[in-house]
Structure 1
Amino acid sequence: MASATGPPTTLPHRSVANIRSPPAAGYHGPSSGPSTPLRPITSAFASPSSLRAEEDLIIIEFGTRKLQVGFAGDAAPRGSIWFGPDHQRRVGDFRAWQTDYHDDWRKAAAGKPWGRDHELWQSDVRGLDLGLVGDKIERALRDAFSRYLLIDSRPRRVVCVLPSDLPIPLLSTALDSLFNRFQSPTVSLLSSPVASAVAAGMRSALVVDLGWSETVVTAVYEYREVNCGRTIRGGRMLVEQTHNLLAKHLPQARKETEAAHDSQQAQDYALSFEECDEITTRMVWCKPYHAATTTVTQTAEGLPTVQEHDESDARGYSTSGKAATATIPLKSAKPPTSLNLPYDLLTEPCENTFFDSRYSQSSFDDHELPVYLLVYRNLLNLPLDVRAICMSRIIFTGGCTGVLGLRKRIFDEVSHLIQQRGWDSVQGKATEQLRSNLKLNRSTRQASTGPTDAASQAGGSSGGGGGGEEQDGVWHDAANNTPEVDPIDEQLKRGGDKRPRVQGQMRALESLGAWTGASMISHLKTPAIATIGRDLWLQQGAAGASKASDVDPKTQQRQSLGAGGLIRGAAASSAWTLGVWGAN
């Protein structure tokens, strides 16, 4: 027992609680070896990576056939997930790696449209299983998070890049998957055309999206979509045209056998979708544009001269005079075979899909216009100032832009159409006759004679001409007088950009893609088009979104994508919108 006068004795079991406590002041431990300074540990599971996890903002771009994910601020997405039949296999299904495995694509595609297993959704939501679409989105996102982003299932803020014409049922399915299955606190929505324009470094542009299901032409002016047009000509039609070309050159006996085998189907497919898609990506190309084989010019004597052009390269012939051919192996045909096709023949799918010059322009409906005619009409419907800016900033995006020569051909077709028609919306024989005959063009004669006569009459009535006056022996003309210098205008010119603004001429630009534009917008903490909170979505759903006219802009505070900015903005007001998606 300790004495009353001595220091109190500390029991061993009571000193265990003070193991992690810092040493007392003035205490120096033994210096027998190197020591590591103690640091406070706030939690048993805390780590430096948790600090970054709270700041991560995930960018997700939804497409018809693939999904791209990455972090805000990155120059390119971390990974892409393509949808297909292999992505829908059950866990533990390893039949594809067996040596005797045979992919019977005919039996798998029975009762379904050709290639629908490779799509996430369709624009026509009638009869579409939205629950299956939500399951596809969840599986693709979990695969992307674990394989490319290397993150856990902790709730994170998400920015979705979507086309502006996405139907509300599909948008609601995507948001339900993010809010219910990934517990995202907020989801921001960005438009794909606007993000593509930002990725090109432009505020205004004409975005031509050569997508899978359709081609969409969108005019963006000052980060706003002002006009939009679409046609059904896209990647799906291109793959089908490639299949028709290959099936047409199969031996006749094999075609008859395939037709007798599948006589109950509305359309017989002799090749698999995967093989036709790969051949389209690797082999199909587009011819360059030629206005005519010969160019006729008018000389001073009035006699036309013909300029000859060497078109041997455009027709696909080699220097030896023989047509260059390509050998295409077809493994999905029964039995497997190989086709030797000329390179010139591989341009037919692209010609029939995007241009279809076999028919006149008046024979097309509004939803099946050729791409170059759709671009021209979209520019024609724009106001004069918007058209002058957008025609100098044409951006081609989408999966079909990889077709060799397609973008150049569309650009040349639109340029030739502008030179031929101008910006006159009225077309026909009477209009062409009025343009060619100067005697019938009354507006030209009035424009050339009216102002001149008025100016001469005004000059004659004043005696000196010009409507000026004489002061101190010097004639002062108001029209030719130098304006006074405005100091405010001079100061504004000094601080502005002095480079000339390119407008009024055809020009194409390169873009880094919609995902990169969304990453830049989010990294700069620019407000998104629409921001949705999880609590409001779970309470109200898509029906709780207000229209743009119902929201008072004075009460809406400027939101940012900073830490907690979106959460405070969502909790500050209950009025929220779906942006351009709410008008669908």
Structure 2
Amino acid sequence: MSAATVSTTLPHRAVANIKSPGGGLSGPSTPLRGVASNFGSPSSLRAEEDLLLIEFGTRKLHIGFAGDAVPRGCVWFGPDQQRRVGDFRVWQMDYRDEWAKRESDSEWGKSHELWQPDVRDLDLGLVEDKIERAMREAITKYMLIDSRPRRMVCVLPSGLPLPILSATLDTLFSRFMSPTISLLSIPVAVAVGAGVRSALVIDLGWSETVVTSVYEYREVRTDRSIRAGRMLTEQTHKLLASRLGQSPQRPSTESECTKHVLSFEECSEIASRVVWCKASQHPASAKPEDGLATVEEQDESDVRTHPQGCDHAKTPIPLRSAATPETLELSYDQLAEPCENTFFDSQCSPRSFDDHELPLHLLVYRSLLELPLDVRAVCMSRIIFTGGCAKVLGLRKRIFDDVSQLIREKGWDPVQTKPSDKLGAASRLKKRGSRQGNSGPTGVPPDGAGEEEQDGVWHDAANTVPEADPVEEQLKRGRDRKEQPPVCGKMRAVESLGAWSGASLITQLKAPAIATIDRDVWQQQGAAGAGRVGDVDTKSQRQSVGPAIRGATSGSSWTLGVWGVV
């Protein structure tokens, strides 16, 4: 055998040895499949499990994966989102100085909003474009996922108008091809984020302040006021313009608008960073703790006295958007005026306000007053403040103290006039002195010790044995002795993780959403195909926001929940 023949057979033998079944080596297909399924980016299984959770607000959008503690990203709506490709004016030196040319007085601040509560003059096509651009920016910048269709959960205000809801769902179904979308309410999500089943949620938002009573995860009552973030920004602009010597005149007709001398961005930043709220004149009395109060140790020789005139201290505020850039010196009392005029308006009588412009402490008090007794006792002990204006320094405590003062002064009587007070006192006196007509003559006890007269009948109070209540006895048997009863009937505020975190918890626990809409059904029927809540069977509507809800609503009746057609 020649050397050439040996050289040609060696490679053949090597390949045969590799592919032989007895060699103990398998092909690379099996381990590569396992690696691709576990560490692929992204795999089909992971795409089916991922649930996008989106919270829509008036000025911003929170997005993240369901089950996370906090959202992955936040996208603010603004005029920079509406720039076209190749528009580089934002990097010019005089771009911020030409804000008056970009926005008229009637459109001041509207370019920073996704929608307005008044949908009569609202361009729904522009709303859809803003939602699409914000979603694509959030998915590309924060989520780092591909464009594969994914199921979504939307957290929306319960008072969102139906045209805006339809525009939002049309955008998510048609442009992101989501198979199903579940809807959750912001007040319920905030209550879940606080770990309570019932609460009084005070949403200090941008367009309006909404007070919602949630009882056992259901919205019982909702009250609104236009005193919110937009009015606070307007009052801040009014204060700064008056200090500049260019106080805007009040428009004489509805068609005229207030003349703005500062940009919206600058006024909004000052309102969120510098403006604060004064303390109440009647602070809520703190409950004394058991035992003696703890005294902190301190050096008596270190006596720190406040300097004279600290109440009149001033802070510099630079204004760059004015016609002539200037730095104002404003005192802290002046910086508290916008918040005082916006949320309380103490210089006016309560009778001069309409129902849609009530001060916040009156709005919260009347909302509690209209609730049933058991619901009020639970909700007043679980007050939750949320929204952008809740971050204003001192605002939450001021509302809490003023509501507590109203409860101490007026009680829970819905009639608040002087004749009614006199009539109520007279009726109480008459009730005390009255006796039962059919009781007959009353006897005189032999021994008057330990006895009293109630409604004309003598009762032996010392020897009276209380009647046994079988229901209460059964409750005591099943109740743990160490368990404390729920707090009810007193004013108390609790903290919440927010609407997004609460909705993430609801989705992770696979609790049924308020409404679940299938893409095929929505494209066929639209919002007109939704039935009323009372006409839909709750057993067929009870679904989970887990992986098995795809196509669950295609063959059954469906509803939009609190956003449905009345």
| TM tier relative to shorter chain | 0.7 to 0.9
- 1:229 aligned counterpart, secondary structure: strand
1:339–1:29 CA distance, 2 compared to 1 (3 A):
closer
Give the distance between the partners of 1:381 and 1:485, measured in 2 at CA: 30
In 1, Cα distance between the equivalents of 2:231 and 2:462?
69
Matches within 5 A, 1:465-504: 479-481=465-467, 489-494=475-480, 498-504=483-489
CA deviation map 1:372-411 (0-9, x unaligned): 0000000000000000000000101100011100000000
* Corresponding residue number in structure 1 for 2:553: 570
- Could you tell me how far apart the structure 2 residues matched to 1:205 and 1:212 are? 21
Partner of 1:522: 507
Listed as ranges, the matches of 1:119-198 within 5 Å are 119-198=113-192
Counterpart residue number, 2:240: 246
Structure 1 residues 519 and 155, CA gap change in structure 2 (3 angstroms): same
Checking the alignment, whether the CA contact within 8 Å between 1:172 and 1:542 is kept in structure 2 is yes
1:477, distance to aligned residue in structure 2 (A): 7.3
Amino acid at match of 1:197: A
Q: Contact conserved, 2:42 with 2:145, CA < 8 A, in 1?
A: no
Q: Which amino acid aligns with 1:445?
A: L
Unaligned regions of 5+ residues in structure 1, if any? 1-8, 13-17, 293-316, 436-440, 467-474
Alignment of 1:338 onto 2:327: yes
CA contact (8 A) 1:318 1:324 kept: no
The normalised TM-score by structure 2 is 0.83
| SS of equivalent residue, structure 2 residue 238 | helix
Contact 1:536 1:574 in 2 (8 A): no
1:319 maps to a residue whose letter is P
Deviation of the 1:104 alpha carbon: 0.9
Please point out which of 44, 47, 59 is paired with 2:40.
Answer: 47
* Alpha-carbon distance change, 115 to 56 in structure 1, aligned in 2, over 3 angstroms: same
Shift of 1:480: 2.7
Structure 1 runs (4+) deviating above 6 angstroms are 42-46, 451-466, 475-478, 484-487
Query: Which of 425, 443, 448 is the equivalent residue of 2:427?
Result: 443
With over 3 angstroms needed to count, the CA separation of the structure-2 counterparts of 1:567 and 1:319, relative to structure 1, is same
CA apart distance, 1:100: 5.6
TM-score of the two chains, using structure 1 as the length reference: 0.81
C-alpha distance in 1 between matches for 2:470 and 2:502: 44
Kindly, what percent of the aligned residue pairs are identical? 57
Query: Which residue of structure 1 lines up, in the alignment, with residue 456 of structure 2?
Result: none
Q: Does 1:581 align with 2:563?
A: yes
Q: Deviation of residue 478 (structure 1)?
A: 7.5
Task: Tell me whether 1:424 sits opposite 2:416 in the alignment.
Answer: no
Shift of 1:362: 0.5
Query: What RMSD in Å do the two structures reach over aligned CA positions?
Result: 3.5
C-alpha spacing 1:450/1:532, structure 2 compared with 1 (3 Å): same
In structure 1, how many angstroms separate the alpha carbons of the residues matched to 2:437 and 2:268?
67
Distance across 2 between alignment mates of 1:447 and 1:427: 22
Change (3 A) 1:384 1:52: same
Change (3 A) 1:366 1:462: farther
Q: Does 1:320 align with 2:308?
A: yes
> 1:352 & 1:344 partners in 2: Cα distance?
13
- The farther-off stretch of 45-54 and 268-277 is 45-54
Q: Which moved more, 1:85-94 or 1:339-348?
A: 85-94
Match in the other structure for 1:235: 229
Question: Post-superposition shift, 1:433?
Answer: 4.8
Give 3-state SS (helix, strand or coil) of 2:363's partner: helix
Distance in structure 1 (CA, Å) of the matches to 2:520 and 2:224: 36
Aligned amino acid, residue 269 of structure 1: H
| Deviation of the 1:522 alpha carbon | 0.3
Q: Does the aligned pair in 1 maintain the 2:182–2:545 contact within 8 Å?
A: no
Which residue of 481, 491, 506 maps to 1:506?
491
Deviations 1:463-500 (A, max 9, x none): 9999xxxxxxxx99775355679985455324x98211
Q: Contact 1:164–1:580 (CA<8 Å) still a contact in 2?
A: yes
SS in 2 for 1:188: strand
Pairing of 1:405-420 with structure 2 (within 5 A) = 405-420=394-409
* In structure 2, C-alpha distance between the alignment counterparts of 1:561 and 1:351, rounded to whole Å: 43
Q: What are the superposed Cα offsets for residues 415-447 of structure 1, whole Å, 9 maximum, x if unpaired? A: 000000000111123235557xxxxx2222244
User: 2:552 aligns to what SS in structure 1?
Assistant: helix
Deviation at 1:452, TM superposition (A): 9.8
| Deviation of the 1:52 alpha carbon | 2.3
Structure 1 457/498 Cα, relative in aligned 2: closer, same or farther at 3 Å?
Answer: farther
Alignment-derived partner of residue 318 in structure 2: 329
Q: 1:111 to 1:285 in 2, by over 3 A?
A: closer
Aligned equivalents of 2:487 and 2:557: distance in 1? Answer: 40
Match of 1:64 among 50, 58, 61: 58
Q: Distance in 1 between matches of 2:442 and 2:256?
A: 80
Q: 1:459 to 1:583 in 2, by over 3 A?
A: farther
User: What is the CA–CA distance in structure 2 between the aligned matches of 1:36 and 1:42, rounded to whole Å?
Assistant: 11
Equivalent in the alignment of 1:306: none
- CA deviations 1:62-96 (Å, max 9, x no partner) are 00000100111111111111011111111232222
Secondary structure of the equivalent of 1:577? coil
Change over 3 Å in CA distance of 1:420–1:44 after alignment to 2:
closer
Q: Is the 8 A contact 1:379 1:391 kept in 2?
A: yes
Q: Aligned match of 1:83 in 63, 77, 93?
A: 77
Q: How far apart are residue 552 of structure 1 and its match?
A: 2.6
Structure 1 residue 386 and structure 2 residue 372: aligned? no
Partner of 1:113: 107
In structure 2, do the counterparts of structure 1 residues 493 and 265 end up closer, same or farther at CA, with 3 Å as the change threshold?
A: closer
Q: Any idea what the Cα deviations from partners look like across 1:228-266, whole Å, max 9, x if unmatched? A: 1001100000000000001001146xx69x99xxxx963
Contact (CA 8 Å) 1:532, 1:576: kept in 2 or not? yes
The structural deviation recorded for 1:61 is: 0.5
**Contact 2:200/2:212 (<8 A) preserved:** yes
What's the secondary structure of 1:570's corresponding residue?
Answer: coil
Deviations 1:288-321 (A, max 9, x none): 00149xxxxxxxxxxxxxxxxxxxxxxxx96313
3-state SS of paired residue (1:227): strand
On the 8 A contact 1:557/1:569 being kept in 2, the answer is no
Q: 1:374 aligns with which of 363, 376, 395?
A: 363
User: How many pairs were matched up?
Assistant: 517
Letter of the aligned partner of 2:510 in structure 1? K
The aligned residue for residue 545 of structure 2 is 561
State the AA in 2 paired with 1:58: L
CA separation of 1:359/1:489 partners in 2, compared to 1, >3 Å: closer, same or farther?
A: closer
Q: 1:557 to 1:371 in 2, by over 3 A?
A: closer
1:210 alignment partner, one of 197, 204, 209: 204
- SS of the residue 1:335 aligns to: coil
CA contact (8 A) 1:64 1:212 kept: yes
| Residue of structure 2 aligned with 1:27, choices 23, 29, 32 | 23
Q: Which residue of 2 aligns with 1:278?
A: 269
